[in-house]
Amino acid sequence: VFVNLQKAECSFINGTEKVRFVERLIYNRLQYVMFDSDVGHYVGFTPHGEKNAKRLNSDPALLEYKRTQVDRYCRHNYEGSHPYLPVRR
């Protein structure tokens, strides 16, 4: 059995003052590529992941799309899900 997983998450600090979008690509419980909006590009964690990160980072349209996920995906969904989000101190 092979597992291929793509996971996206948003982190909110002080409401929507500081928002971070992270997308993780995982194969068989091993994260091989990650996009972090704070970094602004893909990072590879395995030899295969480094090749994929290089390929993904060579597409400026894709990088711009992923960078705008903070507004399109995170901030857009914050208002509807805000009452259900856990508060961390």
Query: For residues 63 and 55, is the Cβ–Cβ distance under 8 A?
Result: no
Give, in order, the Cα–Cα distances in Å from 29 to each of 7, 26, 35, 51, 62: 12, 6, 17, 19, 25
List the structure tokens of 52. Answer: 């994929």
> Which fold is adopted by the domain 4-81?
3.10.320
Q: In whole angstroms, give the CA distance from residue 49 to residue 53.
A: 6
Per-domain residue ranges of the chain: 4-81
In this predicted structure, the answer to whether residue 4 has a pLDDT above a threshold of 90 is yes
- Quick: pLDDT tens for 52-82: 999 999 999 999 999 999 988 888 887 777 6
Provide the whole-model pTM.
0.82
Strand bridging mode 18-27 / 30-36:
antiparallel
Q: In whole angstroms, give the CA distance from residue 66 to residue 59.
A: 11
Per-residue pLDDT band at 35 (split at 50, 70, 90): very high
Cα 60 to chain centroid, rounded: 16
Per-chain mean pLDDT for the chain: 89
In this predicted structure, the answer to whether residue 28 has a pLDDT above a threshold of 80 is yes
